[in-house]
Amino acid sequence: MSSFVLYLIGFAILIGGIAWALVEAGVPHLYIIIASVILTGIGILKAVSHTRTKDISRN
């Protein structure tokens, strides 16, 4: 399994835990969904930036 997929799985587990905590705290569902979408975007951006290979340019 690629490190990109592992990174996304870990981030999905993190988002799930945060969403669960917000539900238990009584936060409205709309705010939980908005926070989850934002965190998903951040997770994808971080996964791409941490796992992409560096381009080697030749002179």
For residue range 31-40, list pLDDT tens digits in order.
999 999 999 9
Q: What pTM did the predictor assign?
A: 0.75
- The answer to the question of residue 55 being in a domain is no
- The answer to the question of residue 43 being in a domain is yes
Those residues with Cβ within 8 angstroms of residue 4's Cβ, 6 or more apart along the chain or in another chain: 47, 48, 51
Q: Which of 47, 50, 51 is nearest to 8 (CA)?
A: 47
- The answer to the question of residue 59 being in a domain is no
3-state secondary structure the chain: CCHHHHHHHHHHHHHHHHHHHHHHCCCCHHHHHHHHHHHHHHHHHHHHHHHCCCCCCCC
* Domains of the chain: total: 1
Domain that holds residue 39: 3-50
Q: Which of 39, 41, 2 is nearest to 19 (CA)?
A: 39
Q: If pLDDT is split at 50, 70 and 90, which confidence band does 55 have?
A: low
- The answer to the question of residue 46 being in a domain is yes
For residue range 7-22, list pLDDT tens digits in order.
889 999 999 999 999 9
